[in-house]
Amino acid sequence: MKLRMAVGVVGTVAAALAVLSPTSAQAAAKPYDGQDPYRSGCAKTAREVRKAGIKSRIHGPVGTVRLMWSTKCKTNWVEVRTAASATGSISVYTKDGRSNTFRFKAGNKGRHWGDMLWANNMCAWGSVHVQWGGGKGGQNASGATGRACR
């Protein structure tokens, strides 16, 4: 009787672990996904890991895009410096297929950042697309960081 009960308990635990899919386990391990790096405090331990220019085919360089890494939170996000009149979207990607896109409005003296994605022990990269003056006459630009692996 005791042996059956032990086997039953082990079987129940194994079944419970099987129900917890890798996706569920990964989601539980990523508490900062989609959060603001400054409001969460993760930016306090941030450092730049990749930097690239934001360039327009017609107007040339119009800013910079930086991939940031928080040593405390094990997250990446993208920060942008561009014209204060620009609007656009900031995206961050991880090797495991997750991504986050943040749309920004003109203002904030041209400094913008997107939300974070957990990326411990994997590669991440970022991109930005900006537009100003309605985007007419080539008033748009883009930039992308290379991959950084942590």
CA distances from 124 to 17, 19, 115 (A): 29, 29, 13
33 close to 99: Cβ distance less than 8 angstroms: no
**End-to-end CA separation in angstroms for the chain:** 51
The pLDDT profile of the chain, 150 residues, written as one tens digit per residue, is 444 444 444 444 444 434 444 444 444 458 899 999 999 999 999 999 999 999 999 989 999 999 999 999 999 999 999 999 999 999 999 999 999 999 999 999 999 999 999 999 999 999 999 999 888 878 999 999 999 998
pTM of the predicted protein model: 0.79
69 close to 148: Cβ distance less than 8 angstroms: yes
Contacting residues for 30 by C-beta, under 8 A, at least 6 apart: 117, 118
DSSP letter at 92? E
Q: Which helix (H) or strand (E) holds 26?
A: helix 22-28
